[in-house]
Each structure stands twice: as C-alpha cells, then as structure tokens.
Amino acid sequence: MSTTRYDYGGDEYLLVMFDEAMDLATNFKIQAVCQEIKHRNVAGVIETCPANASYLVHFRPEVLHPNQLIDELKDIEKAVQHADSLRSRLVDIPVLFDDPWTQECAQRFADRHQDPSVSNLEYLMRINGYSSKEEFITAYCDTPYWVSMVGFVPGTAWCYRMVSPDRAIQAPKYIRPRTDTPERAVAHGGVFLCIYPVRGPGGYQMIGMSAVPVYDPEEHLPDLRGRYILADAGDRWQFRPIDMNEYNDIRAQVEAGTYRYRIIEQAFHPNTYLEDPARYLKRLQEEAKHA
Amino acid sequence: MLKVIEPGLLTTVQDLGRFGWYHIGMPPSGAMDNFAFRVGNLLVGNDENAAGLEITYVGPKLEVQQDALIAVTGGDLSLQINNRPALLWQAHRVTFGDRISLGSVTRGARAYFCITGGLNVPLLLGSRSTYMLGRFGGLEGRKLQGGDHLQLGPRPPSSEALLGRAVDRALIPVPSKDLEVRIVMGMCNYRVKDESLADFLDATWEVSTEADRIGYRLKGPTFQFKPGEQPFGAGADPSNVVDLGYPVGSIQIPGGLEAILLLNDAVTGGGYTTIGTVIKADLDRVAQASPGSKVRFRAVGIEEALQARRAREARLAQVRLALGIFDLAGELGQ
C-alpha cells in the first residue's frame, strides 16, 4: 500500500491507514499527525487513537461531515510531512526475567504452547538464534523500545524494539490463547513486547515480570495520579534486567505508594534517528545521563 | 440516597460515557441503549448525561432514602413500587422508605433506572460510567452488591412538573429477537474474499451466549482471506493485521471463524481484521438483543448512515417536545 487510505468506521469514526506493514518511520509520522490534530483542536473531533501503521479519529458528524474531516486530515498530514520533533519520554522499566510467576502460568497452559518442554523465554531465545539466556537478555535490553501504540485495555503499550527489521526479535503467539496471565507479565508476540496491565487472557510469550505497574486505577503512585496509566504513545521504554532482591525492593516501594518512576523528557528527532539509529540513540542516552 | 437490597444479575452505574481517552486504551463505556437511557433521564427532569443504573436480564431491589422521581426505560420487565405495579417509560414519585422491585427482562436485554439528581458516584476522566474490565469508574469499578449505598446528586429544578407525563407509545422502540442492522463496510475488508463478504451480508447471524458489554460473539458462516504474504509485524494468521484502533460498533473476524461486534466496553485496538462498523443509530437495538437473537446486516453508504442518525435525534426531539422540555440540549447525545 503506497498511498494513504481513508475509510469510514461507521458514522462517527475514520480509520486512516498509512501502511499495511509495521515500520518505525511510518509510526513517527502517525504520532506527529495525531499530536498536530490535538494541537489544532479541530472542531468536532472527540479523540484520536494513534496505532502502529494507522490512526483512528472519533468525531461528531453533526459538527464536521466525515468528508470535510478527511480534507482537514490531508491538510494536517501535508503540514507534518517533515515532522522534525516529537515529544518523547525515556522511561526505565526494571524487569525480573525468567521469573517464577510467569513460568508457573506457562506450565498451567502448557497444552496451548508450541514447545512446553522449555520456558517461554528459552523458546524465544532458541527460535531467534541465541544460545544462552544471558546473551539473549543482554541483546533484548540493549536498545530502547518505541511505544508505537497504546490500547486494547487501559495501559497496554505496544513496544517496538528500535533496531532495523532484520535484527527484529520475533515470536509466534500461543497456539490457543491462555485464559490467564499474571498482572505485569512482560511478554512478546510478533515483533512487539507488551506488559499486561491487568490479570487476564493473553497469547504473547511470557518472559519476565515488570517490577512496576503500567496501570493504576486506584491512583496509588504519585506519577500516575490523574493519568492512571504509565504509557504515552511516542515514549521510549528502556527495559533493565534486575535480580530478585531489587525486584522485591521495588515491589515494596510500589506497595507503599512511594515508588517514583525514572522518566526523562526529551525531544525526539525522527529524521536524525532514521539517518543513524544506533548513534542517535546513544546520544540521547548520554544526554539523559546528564538530565 | 439509594440503598441496594438485592443487586440483580449485573447492575452497573452508567452515564452517556467517557470520551477523549481512547488513546490510553480506555473505552467509552456508558449506557448500551443510549436512546432508552436518555429518555429515562428526560422523564425525571435530569440532564441526559446524569448517571443511572443499567440493569442486565435480572433487575435489582432498591430502597429510596429520600423523596425523588424515578423512571424505568429500555427492555420490558416488571416494575413494582411497594409491591404495586407501575408503568415503564413514565415518571413516578417515590418517598423515603419506598421499595422498588424490578423483575426479569422479558423482552430485550437491558433496562435503565433513572432518578432525579442522578447517582453521584465520583466523576473519573469526565464520566461516572462503570468499566468493569478496567476496575474503573461507577461504584468502585464493579457491579452493584447487596448493601451498597448510592448518593444522589442535586435535584434538578423542573422535575416535579414532569410527574405523570409519559412517552408516546409510538416513540418507544420495541425490542426484537430478529433484527436488521445497518453497517458501513470497509476498513480491512480488502483482505477478505468477495464471496465471504457477500456471505456475511446474506447470512442470518445468531447472538451467542458470549454477549456482554465488551462485545457480542456472533455465530454464522466462516470467512476466507485473499492469498498473499502477511505484512511485516502483522502476525502469521491471515486474519491478523498490524494492530489498529477498533471503532465501537466494528466487526472483527478472528481466524475467519467468527464475527465479534465490539460494544461500549470494547478493547480499543488490536490485530484482527475488521470488516465494517454498525451505524450508531442501530446500536440501541443491538444493546437489546439477547443470546439466540437473529441478526442480519444491511450495507449502507455514509450518507444513509448520517440520515439514520438524524432521524434518531429527531425522534428524541419529539420525546422532549411531548414531555414539554423545550431546550435543545441534545449535544451530549453520543
């Protein structure tokens, strides 16, 4: 698909499809377009939902005819053709890989898995050509992940590893979805990683447990007060392997309501990234250290 | 104050919904039969967005602890005030200590209980609606339990004048177990074989027992996909697409094996092929379809969808007129 497709989602939604495939450059543009729609405060627009290769607009057709909205969106897309800066946060996510809880869960649903003789993490490691857990976890966490979309249930963030597609870590979903997944499970499906915001069904391969929540309906933690979820589309999440001691330590702070997320606000320049991804990410990392 | 004696099967606090938060994965929630709910509020003199109760299949028993007007609308069920039968779609005066008893829904699936002042649960992200999957909004993010107490909001000034006024029978929709709903086809249906899309529109679908506020699973023919390589990042199954936003009312076809119609507590996005979206004007009738109901889809263009939308608003304007409510405060109507 080379041209943008606009399609009606009934009488009060529009789906704008940029591409059929996942591509970071496309997603950068989608984030920029959605930030601009919000910025322009287009009359009749109720909400926008940026997605991986498309975005959804919910609007009042009484205020704005869908075809007028399409014209308006085309105008906005033209204006952000050369999006040079996006609001993007660098967020530290401490993860206990190969944890006992997701392993226990995997055992309960062994009959739905491709290879129940090994843990989900070992399976992921093997099909992606890694020979040791340490090597895999190091590679898995050596670069930040781009939050390309937020949705499904509140707080679910699709995290895309910021490497070229040939270096992508990929995994099939479970053959049949599980009916249970622990809250905060870190899991991988297709080319995406996600953290389960609440306990519930799921089909991604579970490889670890985040020490920090991504959804906080009770507004227990100061950083999530009034916003309820951790993710913003356009965030960069840096996963950091931790041991059981640090995990327990952070959990205690979360339970006490004193945990503070490590979040650094940065301006992100998509074009500079696309010119030399590794170099630009290193530069942002350096800047973050001094922030 | 309103005391819950018995909660019924699944009774939740709802208003017109929570908008502006789709991008964090928060669906709108809100009353599923939007028309019946708005009429309920009009009958007791409330703003259309005041919070009331959505009753599913089996109604609650309630005790009022202050004077108020109440109205019950939506699907058919028995309404008794102190063991005396009372009419639906009409405002009734209740006083301290009165017992309100609602029976089982005999036609339709959901009924609405509205009371002057509305239910004053906390306003979260602009709404009082309950979103159970996310444990959010309403009363502690859950369905009602026996022993719950619900506070009422301030009483609107004009409510007393509405006592005894009823909605014209001709304006009240009659729930059916056999319904035709209009749909705007599109989105990802370019991935589906033409024969399958034709079958979808020809078939009579059955609402399965998996039918709740998140969505209805529909039983009918299977779908075939056009051959071709899966796009990068989509997933291996031909029904997988690179994850996108799902409109409320959209139909997705996981595995090509079934059709799921997403409703007010929908998952806001995911990676299944969506083939079309039921128009807003017909979602009220969908809300009243119980398991076993037969559904046929009729494809319409965008102009017909917008026309149907205007017709529905005009019907609501007639209700307001009949009740002597002359302000045109209909903009909240989602």
Residues B295 and B197 grouped into a single domain = yes
Query: What residues make up the domain containing B187?
Result: 178-300
Which are the contacts of A28, defined by CB distance < 8 A and separation ≥ 6? A83, A86, A270, A273, A274
Domain endpoint, select from A53, A82, A111: A82
- Same domain for A199 and A124: yes
CA atoms of A39 and A18, how far apart (whole Å): 21
- The pair of three-digit structure tokens given for residue B57, joined into one six-digit string: 């299949």
Pair A127, A271 in one domain: yes
pLDDT at A243: 98
pLDDT digits (tens, 9 = 90+) for B141-161: 999 999 999 999 998 876 677
Which CATH number do you get for residue A222? 2.40.100.10
Identify the residue with better confidence: A63 or B159: A63
Whether residue B58 contacts residue B137, with contact meaning beta carbons closer than 8 Å, is answered with: no
pLDDT-derived band at B330 (thresholds 50, 70, 90) equals: very low
Q: What is the pLDDT of residues B46-62, one digit of tens each?
A: 999 999 999 999 999 99
Confidence (pLDDT) at B332 = 39
Report CB contact under 8 Å: B244, A54.
yes
Total number of domains in chain B: 2
**Final residue belonging to a domain, choices A26, A50, A82:** A82
What CATH number is associated with residue B204?
2.40.100.10
Q: How many domains does chain A have?
A: 2
pLDDT band at A61; cut points 50, 70, 90: very high
Domain boundary among A67, A82, A97: A82
Same domain, A44 and A175: no
| pLDDT value, residue B121 | 98
**Are A208 and A107 found together in one domain?**
yes
Lowest-confidence region among A92-96, A216-220, B200-204: A216-220
Are B141 and B190 found together in one domain? no
Q: Residue B66 pLDDT more than 50?
A: yes
- If you average pLDDT over residues B163-191, what whole number do you get? 92
Closest-CA distance, B105 to chain A, in angstroms, reads 30
Residue B312, in any domain of the structure: no
- Residues of chain B contacting residue A51, judged by C-beta atoms under 8 Å apart: 242-245, 269
In terms of domains, do B79 and B160 share one?
Answer: yes
The answer to whether the beta carbons of residues B119 and B13 sit under 8 Å apart is yes
Both A92 and A24 in one domain: the answer is no
The CA distance from B153 to B50, in Å, is 9
Same structural domain, B246 and B132: no
Instruction: Answer yes or no: do B52 and B101 share one domain.
Output: yes
Q: Do A190 and B233 touch (CB under 8 A)?
A: yes
- Would you tell me how many other CB atoms lie within 10 Å of the CB of residue B118? 25
B185 and B157 in a common domain: no
Would the CA dihedral through A224, A229, A233, A234 be positive or negative?
A: positive
The pLDDT, as a whole number, for residue A83 is: 67
Residue pLDDT, tens place only, B89-121: 999 999 999 999 999 999 999 999 999 999 999
Q: Helix, strand, or coil here: B246?
A: coil
User: Would an 8 Å CB–CB cutoff place B291 in contact with chain A?
Assistant: no
Q: Are residues A212 and A275 in the same domain?
A: yes
A15 burial via Cβ count (<10 Å: 0-12, 13-18, 19+):
buried
Interchain contact, B306 vs A11, CB within 8 Å: yes
Task: Tell whether A193 and A261 lie within a shared domain.
Answer: yes
Same domain, A179 and A104: yes
pLDDT range class, residue B328, cuts 50, 70, 90: very low
Check whether A1 has a pLDDT greater than 50: no
**Element (DSSP H or E) covering residue A275:** helix A270-275
Better-scored residue on pLDDT, B222 or A87: B222
Q: Closest approach of chain A CAs to the CA of B114, in angstroms? A: 26
Dist CA A257 CA A240 (whole Å): 21
The mean pLDDT of A167-173, rounded to a whole number, is 89
3-class state of residue A286 by DSSP: helix
Q: What is the CATH number of the domain that holds A43?
A: 3.30.1360.40
Inter-CA distances, A121 with A136, A204, A205, B271, B274, Å:
9, 11, 7, 23, 32
The model's pLDDT over B234-255, given as tens digits with 9 standing for 90+, comes to: 888 899 999 999 999 999 999 8
pLDDT band at A175 (very low <50, low <70, confident <90, very high): confident
Residue A271 confidence (pLDDT) above 50:
yes
- Taking the Cβ of residue A119 and every Cβ of chain B, the question of whether any pair is shorter than 8 Å is answered with no
Query: Pick from A51, A155, A191: which is nearest to B269 by CB?
Result: A51
Cβ B181 vs Cβ B278: under 8 Å: yes
Return d(Cα A162, Cα B262) in angstroms, integer.
Answer: 32
Are B123 and B271 in a shared domain? no
Identity of the residue in A11, A15, A52 whose CB atom sits nearest the CB atom of B233: A52
Residues 16-55 of A with CB under 8 A from B: 17, 19-23, 34, 46-55
CB A74 within 8 A of CB A18: no
Which residue is closest to B276 within chain A, CA to CA? A9
CB pairs under 8 A between A and B: 178
The arithmetic mean of pLDDT across residues B205-226, rounded, is 96
